[in-house]
């Protein structure tokens, strides 16, 4: 008797191939999910590490900002102290100038000239006075021009008036106070 296989072998082979295909798809899906999970965890770790570095940098920037502010405050204090020192030095340097000014003024004041008012703004000095004649005012201006400590005399006003029966000249004179240069000094 001949053996004939009447079982549906083709359908079973197809079912087995479908089952193997499903197992392969499940395996590759699991491998893909694991790979995606690993990539996700790795990227999360990279993001966390970068966030930690960013936080560290923000902290360092804040620290350096406070240091920069301290340095700016110290530099402002330094400038203020240097300005004070310069002002004190200038006052110390200029202290004898007023004495020298009055000494020079008295030495250069010709006889017959009286001064009523003296005003000073910086190195600019204005005097108001009375002279017995215009020639005495001219003599005063020549003397001031020859002085080492006084310079650039300029007559603003000269006016002849009668006072107590005599004719006098009232005048306003401007000039500068200077500090003479020492020998060999430049500037």
Q: Say what the pLDDT of residue 182 is.
A: 57
Contacts of 177 (CB under 8 A, 6+ apart): 97, 101, 120, 123, 125, 149, 150, 151
Domain ranges of the chain: 27-108, 112-177
| pLDDT of 185 higher than 80 | no
What does the mean pLDDT of the chain come to? 87
Convert the pLDDT of each residue in 47-91 to its tens digit: 999 999 999 999 999 999 999 999 999 999 999 999 999 988 887
**Residue 159 in contact with residue 186, Cβ under 8 Å?**
no
pLDDT for the residue 23: 96
3-state secondary structure (DSSP) of residue 173: strand
């Amino acid at each position: 008797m001949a053996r004939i296989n009447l079982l549906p072998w083709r359908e079973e082979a197809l079912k087995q191939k479908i089952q193997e295909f499903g197992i392969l798809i499940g395996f590759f899906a699991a491998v893909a999910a694991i790979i995606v999970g690993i990539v996700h965890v790795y990227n999360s770790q990279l993001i966390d590490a970068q966030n930690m570095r960013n936080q560290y940098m923000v902290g360092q920037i804040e620290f350096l900002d406070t240091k920069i502010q301290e340095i700016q405050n110290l530099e402002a204090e330094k400038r203020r102290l240097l300005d004070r020192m310069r002002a004190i030095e200038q006052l110390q340097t200029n202290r004898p100038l007023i004495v020298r000014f009055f000494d020079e003024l008295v030495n250069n004041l010709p006889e017959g000239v009286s001064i009523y008012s003296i005003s000073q703004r910086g190195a600019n000095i204005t005097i108001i006075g009375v002279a017995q004649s215009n020639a005495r005012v001219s003599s005063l201006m020549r003397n001031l021009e020859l002085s080492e400590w006084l310079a650039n005399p300029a007559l603003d006003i000269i006016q002849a008036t009668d006072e107590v029966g005599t004719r006098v000249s009232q005048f306003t004179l401007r000039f500068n106070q200077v500090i003479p240069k020492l020998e060999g000094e430049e500037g």
